[in-house]
Structure 1
């Protein structure tokens, strides 16, 4: 069995290859049971183990194990860590143990880029990134691989982190750190939110016609990055119905407030990609894509890494 490091994942998981692989996997489908949540009572606090299995009908088998230790913040180390175990499908033999953190970062951004490829206006040039964590650089690179991004606006609660990201990409794009989020939202063609916020950051009254709103950060019911008006003004799409119903805080809280209904979701991503349901209706429409992550995406990314590695046994 081969051990694949984070550096190898970065080197071999190109945006073009990963987005193409995700498209194929969403269209063809895989078996993907609901993720397993296991609470762990540790001496220094509560922790969670997540298990996310998926397999092709006649192909690869995989499972991601993620440990979530919020108390790690007290020690200056990441709260989330994990690995991905990929096996072949003929005999179930393990092939590779892949760094789970880098795999997750890249597949998450690539899934949003795939949605933007289907939903955002083709001439989208200005990207607003809300949040300055490890996913922020990923969504810049991923969205720029599918749309002609020229300007990148960055907003974050920590201006120095926003400035560091702006500097990192200043040679590739016209970058700006923004303080007034309302003005930045009005300027953007694509807005990508990658925060852990529990309060709305984006208000529906700020959105302008033609905008594509990409919501990544709120992956638990108690989290949200938008107010209900964002959903009411938008054509709403999700990565999967099951994930949205169980974990999409932006949607669930808007439903609890009586401002949205689950059947108002226009489509899940696979339906748009297969043409079963329509995507953006008109150029002036506002589109919203809410993702919480799916084991299908992890399996697709792991397969792409494996098949891109040189000198496979």
Structure 2
């Protein structure tokens, strides 16, 4: 008999397994908002508990990138697990059409397809764009939970795009001591609009949201500084980081992109989400080439930090830097939580 997925935190595993069994012959298209299925709290918890136990069982080939035109492309990101606790195959399909900005459409669209790894049968299709926003933000949230000071008060958010509100929510979920969020964007109106949108929501328990035009001024205030931009010019100057700050770098994924300067890398103790960051992230590749630090100076990756195999923050004066580039490992774990929670709620 084919093995069935084990639902997460299910109060009634028997009923949920019945749902899983009945769903095998009828793939689910999860069209409802992921906001009603998972939260940043729940996904951070899931990553924290699952990454140490199943990450080594997940096959994660290099993503395939097919140019469709001089500017547009199709990307395929497959993964599959050999663990009985994660009986899935997942594929994220991503299209990149930068010209879409001229017709008021997102440049990136994605879909995530989940299969049963025992039978190969399709199980579900999920909005891959939103799933990626959630998993990216929650990786950063989990890292800041481990690396940031536990008395952090001020979060500085650099960038006000689609990922920014997710990063803010993830850092707030992971760091309940945060009291203020300051948002900066090249177009200040976008930062102001985001701050206004978040301000006054009951879920944030009185957290203050504001925008500011002076990037250098607010970096000096940040206990956690989170960056989500496609900048090729360093935005965070290391000399401006306060002692004890945690710097979260999310945006860059090519050698030409960089969100901080060499001084931030030099002053900080650097950690990565996975080894691909050492080869892809512009901040790190450039720092290696210029001899600012060596690869051997990187403090460790996220799984090693969770397991306690690498030392994170050593004291309240340490500056920590976390660089993420994403991976199919966290994609499949995020899809697992969405799928199994959806089935549990439906049943």
Q: TM-score scaled by structure 2?
A: 0.86
* d(CA) in 2 for partners of 1:245, 1:236: 11
Matched, 1:287 2:320: yes
- Could you say which residue in structure 2 is the equivalent of 1:170? 199
Map Cα deviations across residues 243-290 of structure 1 (whole Å, 9 max, x no partner): 112311110112222322111111001001011111111121000000
What does residue 253 of structure 1 align with? Answer: 286
Which SS does the other structure have where 1:195 is aligned? coil
Selected match of 2:60 from 28, 33, 40 = 33
Cα distance per residue 1:181-230 (max 9 Å; x no partner): 12211111100000010110001100111100000011222110000110
Look up the SS of the partner of 1:309 in the other structure: helix
In structure 2, the residue matched to 1:72 is 100
Confirm or deny: 8 A CA contact 2:136 2:326 kept in the other structure: yes
Contact 1:83–1:98 at 8 Å: present in 2 too?
yes
Alignment of 1:134-145 (within 5 A): 134-145=162-173
CA distance in 2, matches of 1:246, 1:69: 24
Q: What is residue 246 of structure 2 aligned with on the other side?
A: 212
The alignment's C-alpha RMSD in Å is 1.5
Structure 1 residue runs of 5 or longer lacking an equivalent are: none
Larger Rg: 2
The two structures have a TM-score, normalised by structure 1, of 0.95
Determine the C-alpha separation between the residues in 2 that align with 1:41 and 1:127. Answer: 39
Whether the 8 Å CA contact 1:212–1:287 is kept in 2: the answer is: yes
SS of 2:129's equivalent in the other structure is helix
Check whether the contact 2:60–2:80 (CA below 8 A) recurs between aligned residues: no
Tell me by how many angstroms 1:35 deviates.
3.0
Instruction: Say if 2:339 is the partner of 1:306.
Output: yes
Give runs of aligned pairs for residues 131-210 of structure 1, distance below 5 A: 131-147=159-175, 148-171=177-200, 172=204, 173-210=207-244
Match of 1:285, SS state, is coil
> Counterparts of 1:85-96 in structure 2 under 5 Å?
85-96=113-124
Contact 2:68 2:74 in 1 (8 A): no
Residue in 2 aligned with 1:237?
271
User: 1:271 maps to which residue?
Assistant: 304
Q: Deviations over 1:23-82 (max 9, x none)?
A: 22321114233332323233xx42222211222213222111111111212222111111
CA contact (8 A) 1:35 1:51 kept: no
Secondary structure, counterpart of 2:34 in structure 1? helix
Query: Are 2:149 and 1:121 aligned?
Result: yes
Query: Equivalents in 2 of 1:223, 1:34: separation in Å?
Result: 23
Is 2:2 aligned against 1:2?
no
Is 1:18 matched up with 2:43? yes
Q: 2:30, 2:227 → 1: CA distance?
A: 29
Structure 1 CA distance for aligned equivalents of residues 104 and 191 of structure 2? 20
Counterpart selection for 2:73 from 16, 26, 48 = 48
Counterpart-to-counterpart distance in 1, 2:46 and 2:249:
21
Q: Secondary structure at the match of 1:213?
A: strand
SS at match of 2:68: strand
Distance in structure 2 (CA, Å) of the matches to 1:97 and 1:25 = 22
Q: Which residue of the other structure, out of 83, 88, 112, is the alignment partner of 1:84?
A: 112
> Aligned pair count?
309
